[in-house]
Structure formats: structure tokens, C-alpha cells
Structure 1
């Protein structure tokens, strides 16, 4: 009882019983690190980023906690671990820390300054604690084999920690410099794009995005950190730590007579084997990224391959020490010391410390470049042999390639993007390499987007009234319809489209194929409308209206219901279009009034702000106004079948979608600048992907924007409606007859000009 045996002595077995479960816990944490690092490797190969950015495994609170658990065996001071697997597991935990530091160093570039400082301090505490614990175990005999290996690993850990800390100092300076250069090149790209008037809008945007992609990719903080001298050198050191672990394991299993292990069994029992296996795989996978960065760096810098010399190789560029110099020049304003001699002492102490840091940073950079240079001398012979083999192989294929070459096999003329490669001081030799290796990235993502082109939207847009300036934007809501309240809420792009689609579903005698095509077109269109509204429209008064549109569309898309009204059941009851519209208008009016009464009884008074009405009121108001408008405009034709009205509704939906989608060009352009430097690469990549998906849409809508509207007005549906009321159709750009005009002319007799 109470941890004591029958003799009253402490029962040691009760305390050691859960140790295997702790080993499983350590193995699980190591497995989590393995999965995250493997995901980064897969992501790097998939996107052909062989410098392997830290997309999934970065230094943060979660990974630091996982690492702290994973190295539990290395910091265990008093548990007996006598066997071969036990001692190897202690070594693998230490090597795992080195792998983690080398693998996650690029992730520092994607952090804010304060976040970098906190994570670096936390990681430093973890590493120093681990080194102290290993030293204690070496002194007490808890670690009684692999003495040299542990000493080497501790030295590597310390070197990597210094590299990581001092590399972090360059991040604020490099970000500031690259952001300034990006803004200058951005303006240059815009000027060049304005001068190109003989190309279609999609082609101009694609060339513009190629320039922005090159700028965004080469200025990506993770890429800048990944190609730096310290990060590439850390790859070599990380690879060395992996080789030390491999050497220890091979000697242990292939030369067992060279070691003397103790008898007995560890309290962790079989779980140490599981930990060792998991951590060994994690070290192997985690070394791929750092080793690849190191190899790419020396591969390019080999003199006969990159056509560069080693002159000035050990020069320390200004940006390495600029942050420390700036700190040295700042006064100690945070210290409130009255005594002048004490203030002077504090100031001089600070300067001496910063001078020491500047010296360490200089030594850090020189050491990193020395490692890179030594690596070049060691690997250059292998690289030259590989080049010789490639040239020898090409000789046998030359005739075949020459005979098969034709006009179609000639390489496309590519843009010269050298001036859009953003680089730091000392990276001039990388400009050509970075341009060549990333020129085709835009085409890759453009083609991926093109494969997922929204075909139903293109088919729907062909029915739009291009020549009449998207007349349906005005026709869906008439000013002659009486208001349900004193004020009307502002319009959004999505809510009219959703309401018009709801009415179209309720019409009788409509073929299932027509319904399916409309629903698919609207489904694709709503995604783009939401994207455009969220990105361009910053007005807070339409946020609730957007939520209303999303909620209504969810019911229409999934269940064919509008606020619990079964639309398909209405269409099957055999009623005329007029009766259905009247029923929807009455239902909407009833829902609106009931919701209004409920608001009054609960003392919730939002009547002075229509945009903040409850969702049901906003949806009901839209349905009432659109239904009454259709009853008013098409009164003479509503007793017939619903096919002609369905066609008229389709044209209105197409017009509203088309007018909204004219904003895609502005969205793509703004995505290239309206993002932080850490997110810009992903933002531009997404813009290229969207351009690929919407190329045909942009070409269809090219030159359809009214010349009297500026970009701010184009993003607002109310501005479009106001322009229609103020100007005649002649104010809109005309076009030659097309499929869209032909399709819309079929239902032209349904349109009545609303004064």
C-alpha cells in the first residue's frame, strides 16, 4: 500500500512499471517530427523546390514541445540504460536535435521579429539543457559508450545554435531591403504592362504575373534564408551529424566486439528499440532538406560549372552585421539611471558586447563560407564526372534530336526576367541560376489552373447582354416596387444571383438539363463572387448581406429550398409562372413582417441600419423585390409556360455574374502587392492559378467595362446600377455580334426599359 512492499520498503517495481509507456510517448513525439519533416520533403519535390522550405515543420511552440518530449532519453540522468539499443537511443536523440536545427532554419524567415526572438530563446534553452545533461551523464557514467560521438554531436549542436541565432539577426535587414526593391520593381512591371496595348488581357496579365512571381519567389524570406551561406553550411554540418549516427550504428551491429555493454535490462524495456527506429528514420528523412540546400549551393558555385571564381569568397557583406551596428548606434533609452558614470558604464558595456557579437557574426559567416569552399573542393571531382557522363550520353542522342526537331519543337521565346530577380549583396552570381530555375513556374501553375477551368460559367456568360452593358444588373430590381420598410439595404453581387436562381428553380415545365446547367454555373460563379467581394469590397455594411447570400445558397444548392420553401415542389404543382411569383412574393412579405414583429417584441432595434437586419429579413426583402419586379415587367407573358421566363432569368443571372467577374483582373493585380513579404509568394502563385482558371472568362469580358467607370466603381453593383440609370446604353462599349448577343436576343421581348 502507498508504494511500500510488505517489509515497509519502497517498491521500486511500481515506479518503473510505466516506463515503457513513456518510451512509447517519446516514440510518438519522434514520429510526429518525422511526419512533419517528411511532409516538407514531399512538398519540396512536388513543387520542385529543392531548397525545401519549412512548410510544415518550423520552429514554434508545438514543435518545441514535441522536440522536448522526443529527446527525453538524452536528458534522463538516473535511469539505467545498459543495452546497445539504450545507448544508441540516447545518441539518436541528440542527433535528432541537430537534424531539427538544420531542417527548420529557413522557417525563421517567415516569422515576425518578436516571434523570432522568443523561438530562438526557447530553442537555445532546450539545446543548452540537453548539452548540460549529456555532460552530466558522461561524467557519471550513465553514458559509457560512444564518448567521442557524443562530444562531436554536442559541438555540432553548439555550432548550429550559434549559426541559427546569428542568421536570425539578418532577417529584419534583408526583409526591409527586399521589400523596398519589390515595390520599385512592381512599379516598373506596371509601366511595362501599360505600354503593351496590342495583347489580350489574359496574355498581358500572364506576363505581368511572371515578373511578379520572379520577384515574389526570389524575395521570399524562407528562400533568402535557405540560400544563405550559414544555412547551406548548416546542411553540411547536419549531414555530418547523420554520418556520425550511422557510423555508431554500423560499428555497433557489424563490429560488436569493439564495444562492451552492461548486462541487465533498461526500465524502458522494448520501447527503446521503437524510439531508436523512429528517430533513425526521422534523422534520415530530416537530413534530405539541409543536405539538398548544401549540395545545390556547391553544385552551382563549382568554378567550372557556374563560371565564377573564388575571389572575394570570404568577404562579409554588410547586411550580416548591419542589424548589430544599428543596435550599437541606438541610445539606451530604456535604462533610467540618474548617475552619469553608471550610464556611461552601461553604454560602454553594451558597445563591448555588441562588438563581440559583430566579431562572432563575422567569424560565423567566414566559417560558413569556408565550409562551403571545402565542400566544393571535395565534391567538384564528382560533379565534373557527372558532367562528362551527361555530355557523353548526349552524343548518342544528338542525331535523333536533330532529325526530330522542327518548328514545333523549338523553345518558346521567354521573357528576360533578370531585372526582376531580387537578391542581396554578394548573390550576383545566383541571378542567372535563379531566373533559369524558376522561369517555368508560372506556366506550371497557369496550366494547372487551366485544367480546372469553370466550364459552366463560360457557358452561362455566353448568354449575357454584352452589347447592352450587362443590362440585367439593372433589370432584376425596379424602383416602382414599394419598399417593405422605410429604408432599403445596399445590394451585393451574390444575393441577387442566389434569389434569381431560387425563382428559376421554382418555375414550372423546365427541363432537368437546363436546371442542372444553371445550378452548376451559379455554383461556380458564387465562389468567384465571394472571392471578389471579400478581396475588393472593404465596406462593412455588406458583410451581413454576404452571410445571407451564403446561407440562402446553401439551402438552394443542397436541398432546393429557399428559407424552408421547397422550390421543386412549387414547380411540380402545375401552377403558372405568375402564381408562383405571387406566392413567393407573399411568402417573402410574410416572413419579413413576422421577423420584424419578433425584433420589436424582443426590444432589438436595428431598423435604422438595414444592412444589419437579420438574415431572414434580408433574404425575404430580396425575394419580395425581385418577384414583384418580374411580375411588373413580364405581366403579359406570365400565364404561359415558364421556359421563356427561365431564359430571361438566366440572362439576368449571366449579366450580374459577368459584371462582377470584370473585377477579376483587379483582384489578380492586387494580390501581387496587398500581402506581406512572408505570404507574397503564395499569393502570387494563387493569382497565377486563378488566371489559368479564368483565362477564357477574361477574354470574353475584355473591353466590356464601361469607360466612364473607375476600378472602385466596378467593384460595386450599386455603382453599375447607378450608371445604367444615368446613361443610355450607347455609353457602354459595343461589340460585334457574338454568341452571347445571339443568345440574349431570343428573350429580348421580355425586357422593358425601366425609367
Structure 2
């Protein structure tokens, strides 16, 4: 018997149709994935009060396009019999789901790069055209024998939405370029205003700057710009219409069954079509929330009694809609055609096509604005009733309460007036400026308060021990210039490596209480998080390997209490003195440096052109050697130097380095808000506001602690700090020759150990 045939040699149809219910489950799973991601976007928008619903989880990309292609399997199935009502409804729901996806994901166009944008829109267009062609074939062959009017309307809606999506994508690069230029201008204005303000506390100054940066970043966010555009808001109305068509078909099928005549028999998909129908119906309902909300907010604001006094110029097509196409007309063709007449023909043909596209774009914009105006005409009465109800409720309020609220509103409006110029908007959006200012001004306060609730308590406690009032002298004291080098030259310092090395030494000291060690480790762990944040955004020389060495060292210390495989806690329990432990760590570092150097030389894998490019282990060993030798120079001969006192000295050194690094916070915030891409800028500012809330107490402690001798461009470098401190007070940081003096004064309240 041949495979696929029965005993009589006939084709076994039942065997081929057996897996069909599993294919239906596969379609259900893809539809469920679309449902979950669209629901996540709705929840995210409501939770963060972004009722224009940005596309964070569901957007047009390779993954979503694959899911959609699977989800519409029933609509493109040309030859499988689907006789029952749930079968025919499942075909319609698949088509409506595509309309919902287009309307839902339109803001995601703003988050794409130009090439990615072109490829995704092209792929989506091919998918939609394929679906329309398949539906037309099924209408002609009778595979779809009911709901033909609904299918015709949905196909028309799908085509309109695809045109809106495609032509909206053409404006994205132009809008980004314009808003990027405008952001740079306003950023310079914000810096100028900030430099002119004197007498304010550092936290208040940074917070005001961040309010300006947030207003600029949020209003210029490409997703927000696309979400408030005419085409996107109009697509919400069209998307809502498609979901109403599906609802009408479902209700009429179940409430008026006599108006339809379905075929007898069962589909090969069997019971799985019911799962598909239910899942896709819920997906359409959830997916319609975001586009419908954008549409309703747009008509709510543009209603004549709610912000617009007139509709004059409503049908004007702004320049940015067609500027990209106009610029393409001026670009010559890159085709290598020898004949001048052929080149002329190709150029003229290109211009004619672009003129057609410009005309279609103008028609697209005018149609979108017309949909918005028609929507206002029908919805305005409902809005007027809502306003009447609100006014009626206000009449029951006490006059004193009314007066207080009026006073508060006048004060808030005056305080927000200066933020208006930082709202970045496109041509034709002037009426939205005041609305965007009012609706987004409290966002920074929300994230600032959230940051306050997660402040680094252990780091704050550690920084209270620093000598910030004396200029963070521990920055210069951890390394003595007279300590001989391990390899001739010395690599530059970063902020993190000395902190990690000093913490390693503190962990190895004997007779230290577990509570003190635990508090120090937690404080350093929190502090290194901020150091990494600052160093990631500082424009400094190549310190990549040095920072890697710091990360490598701290990973071992934090997780395993080891430094380059040396067990620090076991070392502290061997009964040795602090001086002996420092000498052992110093010698171990020297040995590991030589081992690493020999191994790298043997395999010829290390380019030792500059010390900053040494291998990670050599940089870590060099840091440990120099710091241990420096402490030994200051430790020998000291009268009252106990283990507890030495631990305290190391703690203060660590606190000083952390505190000095955190004085760069304002500069880093400013850099972070400018250098991030326009797509991620709002997220960067939000993160910066949250970190400001976390570090408010720290910045209040460190305010006005920068040495006067440091120039602004030198504050970011720990080596510049060390040079500045040594120039100011060279006697506070003795060289090795100071150990030759006969007497030793008692250690003062300062962090450093010196022999006078």
C-alpha cells in the first residue's frame, strides 16, 4: 500500500486533514501573542498616564509580522471547506485583526531607523496585499459565501489604513531631523539659563534643568509625534469602524440566525475555529482601545469649545508632510545610463511618480483631517453634555474651596509658563503647546518621588564619613607618587578601580567587626553603580581596560570575598597584623603582575604600547601593589595605629573617592540628555530624574565641595583631582621620605596617615 492511500488505492483525505485542528491551535497561539502584547501596551499606557499609548511591546517588526502572518491563516486559506458560522466569522475576524494591528502599531513607525522603516512597511504592505487578493479569490470561488459586504468594507478599510501607514512613514525622517535641530537650539537655551542662575541649591538647579529636558524630550519623542499626528488619530476612527463591523457580524449571526444560511458539514479545522474566533475577537477589542483613545483625545481637544475657537486652516497640508518627497525630486538618479535621452526620460518619469505621491500624500492628510472634523461633528454633543455635568457638579462645591483651587491653578500656570518655550512641536500644532505643557509637567515630580523612595541608604551613611568639607583629600592620599612602579610607566586611574581595591584591603584587615564590613560592602556596591553610570557618560581618555579591571575585582570581592583568587576573609583570620597582611597583598600583587606579563609575552597577545591597555589582571595587580605600598609608608612608625583605626582610614578614603566622583552628576545628566538618540531621549531623561531623586541627600551633602582650583573639564578625572589637591596642600600628602622623620604625631581627625 502506498503512503497516503487506502487499501483500494484511493487517496486518504482523512489522513491529510487530521493535523488541521493543531494548525488551528497554532493560529490561536499566534493570535494570543498579539493579544497579550497589545494588552501590555494598553496597561503600560494607563499605568504611566500616556493615553496616546506608545508601542512598547507591540510594534511593526519581523517578529510581529510573522505572528500576524500565522494569525491570518484562516483568511488566506483558499481551498479548505469552512461551512459553519464560526468558520466564516473566523475568516472575518482575521481580516479585522489586521486592521486593528495597523491602527494600533502606527506610532511605532517613529521608533525605527530609516532603512528599518522602509523594510518593515514594505513587508507589511506585501502581507496586506496578499490578504486582500486571497479574500477576493475566496469571494469569487464561494469559499466565503456570507458576510461579503462586511469583507468588502474591511478590505477597503485595510487598504486605506495601509495607505495611511505608508505615507505617514515618509514624514518620520523629516520630523526627526527638524525636531533634532530644534532640540539642540532649546538645549543651548536651557544651558544658558542654568548658567545665569546663581544662589540655588544643586538639587533644585538640576531638577529645574530636568523639567526642561523632559518637556523637550517628551514632546519631540518620535512615537508621541506620530501618535498625535492627523493620520494616526484618523486611523483610530477607521480602526474603531472595522471592529464595529466585526461586532455587527457576530451579533447578527447569533441574535438573528434566520438571516443567514450556512452550509451543513464540519470544517477540517473542527473545534479549533471557535478558539481562533474567540481569541481574535478579544484581540480586536483590546487592540482597538489604543487607536480609539488617540482618536477620542484628538477630537476632544479640537472641539470648538475645548481649545480651538475656529477651524480655519484645518485642511492646510503642512510642509513636513511632503518635504521628503520634494527633496527626492531634487536628487539625481544614480543609474548608469549612457544615453542622454534615456536619462532624461528616467528623470521625468521619477518626477511624475513623485508628483503623484505628493498628490496622494496631500489627499491622505486632507482625508485624515476631514475624518477628524466629521468625528467632532458627531461627538461634540456628547462632549457638551459631559461639560454640563462637570459644571453642575462644581455648583455644589463651597466658594472657599473654589477660591483656593483658583489660586492654586493661577500659581501653577505661572510656574509652568516658562516651560512653554521648551515644548517642541511641528507646524500646525501651536494649539497643542499649552495642553502638552499642562499634561506633562508633573511627570518629573512623579519619577523624582519614586527615586526618593529607593535612595541608597548605605551609600549615604558611607558618604557622611567623607572629608567633603576639606575637599575630599582621600582622592589624593590613596596613591603615593614615590611608590616605585612595577613596569616603568603608570596607567591612569579611573574612579572605580581604587574603590574596589581599597574595599578588598578593608575586607582583609583583621579584627574588623562583621557589621562594619557588611555596611562598607553595601555602601561600595551602591556607590559603584553610580560610578559606572557617571563613567559611562563622561568623555575621558581610553579607560576601558581599567574599568574592566575594576569590574573584575569587585565581582570577586562582592560575590566570593576574593581578590584575584586570593581569599580575603581567610587572610584576615590568620592572626597576622595589618602590616603583615598589607605586605602579603603587596607581594601577591607583584607576583600576579609578573605572571600575567610573562604569559602575555609568551603568546604575544598583548600590545603594551600604553599602560592603559595592559591586561585586566595586570591593572588590578598594579593598583593593589601601589595602594598597599602607600598605606605601608604611612602606617610604619605610627604610634596609635590600630586595626580598627586603619579600617576607618580606608573607609574614609573610599567615601572621599565616591563623593568626588558624584560631583560630576550634574555634568553627566546634561550630557546624557543631549547625547542619547531622539528615540531614547525621553527614557534617558526619565532615568536621570529617577536617579536625581535617589541621590538628593547625597548631592545636598556634596554641594559646593569641588576644589576651586579645578576647571570644569577637569572634574571628571580622578588624576586631575589628585594633582589639584597636592598643589593646594603638598604637606598633607607626604612622600616616602617623611617616614624617615623621627617623631610621629597622633593621627588627626583627617583620613590620612602621616608622620610629622
TM-score where L is the length of structure 2: 0.94
The question of whether the paired residues in 2 share the 8 Å contact of 1:449 and 1:693 is answered with yes
> Within 1, Cα distance between the matches of 2:137 and 2:6?
32
- CA, structure 1 residues 746+163, in 2 after alignment: closer, same or farther (shift >3 Å)? same
Q: Partner of 1:364 in structure 2? A: 364
> Structure 1 residue 696 and structure 2 residue 672: aligned?
no
Shift of residue 574 of structure 1?
Answer: 2.9
Comparing 380-389 and 722-731, the one that deviates more = 722-731
Comparing 463-472 and 669-678, the one that deviates more = 463-472
Q: Partner of 1:42 in structure 2? A: 43
Shift of residue 641 of structure 1?
Answer: 3.7
Comparing 449-458 and 76-85, the one that deviates more = 449-458
For residues 6-33 of structure 1, give each alpha carbon's deviation from its aligned partner in whole angstroms, at most 9, with x where no partner exists: 1112211221111111111111111111
Comparing 14-23 and 371-380, the one that deviates more = 14-23
The question of whether the paired residues in 2 share the 8 Å contact of 1:648 and 1:750 is answered with yes
Shift of residue 561 of structure 1?
Answer: 1.8
The question of whether the paired residues in 2 share the 8 Å contact of 1:206 and 1:688 is answered with yes
> Structure 1 residue 501 and structure 2 residue 503: aligned?
yes
Shift of residue 402 of structure 1?
Answer: 5.4
> Within 1, Cα distance between the matches of 2:376 and 2:407?
41
For residues 60-84 of structure 1, give each alpha carbon's deviation from its aligned partner in whole angstroms, at most 9, with x where no partner exists: 1111111111111100001111111
Shift of residue 750 of structure 1?
Answer: 4.7
The question of whether the paired residues in 2 share the 8 Å contact of 1:634 and 1:750 is answered with no
> Within 2, Cα distance between the matches of 1:582 and 1:142?
87
For residues 44-66 of structure 1, give each alpha carbon's deviation from its aligned partner in whole angstroms, at most 9, with x where no partner exists: 11111100011111111111111
- CA, structure 1 residues 731+299, in 2 after alignment: closer, same or farther (shift >3 Å)? farther
Q: Partner of 1:534 in structure 2? A: 536
Q: Partner of 1:427 in structure 2? A: 429
The question of whether the paired residues in 2 share the 8 Å contact of 1:577 and 1:640 is answered with no
Q: Where does 1:229-628 land on structure 2 (aligned, <5 Å)? A: 229-332=230-333, 334-399=334-399, 401=401, 414-416=415-417, 417-540=419-542, 542-628=543-629
> Within 2, Cα distance between the matches of 1:8 and 1:448?
74
- CA, structure 1 residues 146+729, in 2 after alignment: closer, same or farther (shift >3 Å)? farther
- CA, structure 1 residues 729+214, in 2 after alignment: closer, same or farther (shift >3 Å)? farther
Comparing 314-323 and 494-503, the one that deviates more = 314-323
Q: Partner of 1:127 in structure 2? A: 128
> Within 2, Cα distance between the matches of 1:571 and 1:414?
58
> Within 2, Cα distance between the matches of 1:122 and 1:361?
20
Q: Partner of 1:737 in structure 2? A: none
- CA, structure 1 residues 724+746, in 2 after alignment: closer, same or farther (shift >3 Å)? closer
> Within 1, Cα distance between the matches of 2:223 and 2:174?
14
Shift of residue 102 of structure 1?
Answer: 0.3
The question of whether the paired residues in 1 share the 8 Å contact of 2:747 and 2:754 is answered with no
Shift of residue 180 of structure 1?
Answer: 1.6
Q: Which runs of 5+ in 2 are unaligned?
A: 734-745
Secondary structure class of the residue paired with 1:672: helix
Q: Where does 1:647-686 land on structure 2 (aligned, <5 Å)? A: 647-686=648-687
> Within 1, Cα distance between the matches of 2:675 and 2:462?
31
Comparing 614-623 and 124-133, the one that deviates more = 614-623
The question of whether the paired residues in 2 share the 8 Å contact of 1:544 and 1:615 is answered with yes
> Within 2, Cα distance between the matches of 1:284 and 1:57?
15
Q: Partner of 2:149 in structure 1? A: 148
Secondary structure class of the residue paired with 1:303: coil
Secondary structure class of the residue paired with 2:316: coil
Q: Partner of 1:20 in structure 2? A: 21
Shift of residue 639 of structure 1?
Answer: 8.7
For residues 73-115 of structure 1, give each alpha carbon's deviation from its aligned partner in whole angstroms, at most 9, with x where no partner exists: 1000011111111111110100010000001111111112222
> Within 2, Cα distance between the matches of 1:138 and 1:194?
69
The question of whether the paired residues in 2 share the 8 Å contact of 1:509 and 1:641 is answered with no
Comparing 65-74 and 639-648, the one that deviates more = 639-648
> Within 1, Cα distance between the matches of 2:641 and 2:671?
48
The question of whether the paired residues in 1 share the 8 Å contact of 2:606 and 2:614 is answered with no
- CA, structure 1 residues 406+564, in 2 after alignment: closer, same or farther (shift >3 Å)? farther
- CA, structure 1 residues 469+372, in 2 after alignment: closer, same or farther (shift >3 Å)? same
- CA, structure 1 residues 26+555, in 2 after alignment: closer, same or farther (shift >3 Å)? same
Shift of residue 603 of structure 1?
Answer: 4.1
The question of whether the paired residues in 1 share the 8 Å contact of 2:497 and 2:547 is answered with yes
Shift of residue 578 of structure 1?
Answer: 1.3
Size of the alignment, in residue pairs? 741
Shift of residue 472 of structure 1?
Answer: 0.9
Secondary structure class of the residue paired with 1:486: coil
Q: Which runs of 5+ in 1 are unaligned?
A: 733-743
Q: Partner of 2:165 in structure 1? A: 164
> Within 1, Cα distance between the matches of 2:654 and 2:253?
74
- CA, structure 1 residues 438+26, in 2 after alignment: closer, same or farther (shift >3 Å)? same
Shift of residue 400 of structure 1?
Answer: 7.4
> Within 1, Cα distance between the matches of 2:688 and 2:388?
41
Comparing 638-647 and 207-216, the one that deviates more = 638-647
> Within 1, Cα distance between the matches of 2:53 and 2:134?
32
- CA, structure 1 residues 115+602, in 2 after alignment: closer, same or farther (shift >3 Å)? closer
Secondary structure class of the residue paired with 1:304: coil
Shift of residue 364 of structure 1?
Answer: 0.9
Secondary structure class of the residue paired with 1:356: helix
For residues 144-169 of structure 1, give each alpha carbon's deviation from its aligned partner in whole angstroms, at most 9, with x where no partner exists: 11111000000000000111111111
Shift of residue 362 of structure 1?
Answer: 1.2
- CA, structure 1 residues 575+183, in 2 after alignment: closer, same or farther (shift >3 Å)? same
Q: Partner of 1:634 in structure 2? A: 635
- CA, structure 1 residues 357+608, in 2 after alignment: closer, same or farther (shift >3 Å)? closer
- CA, structure 1 residues 341+620, in 2 after alignment: closer, same or farther (shift >3 Å)? closer
- CA, structure 1 residues 410+124, in 2 after alignment: closer, same or farther (shift >3 Å)? closer
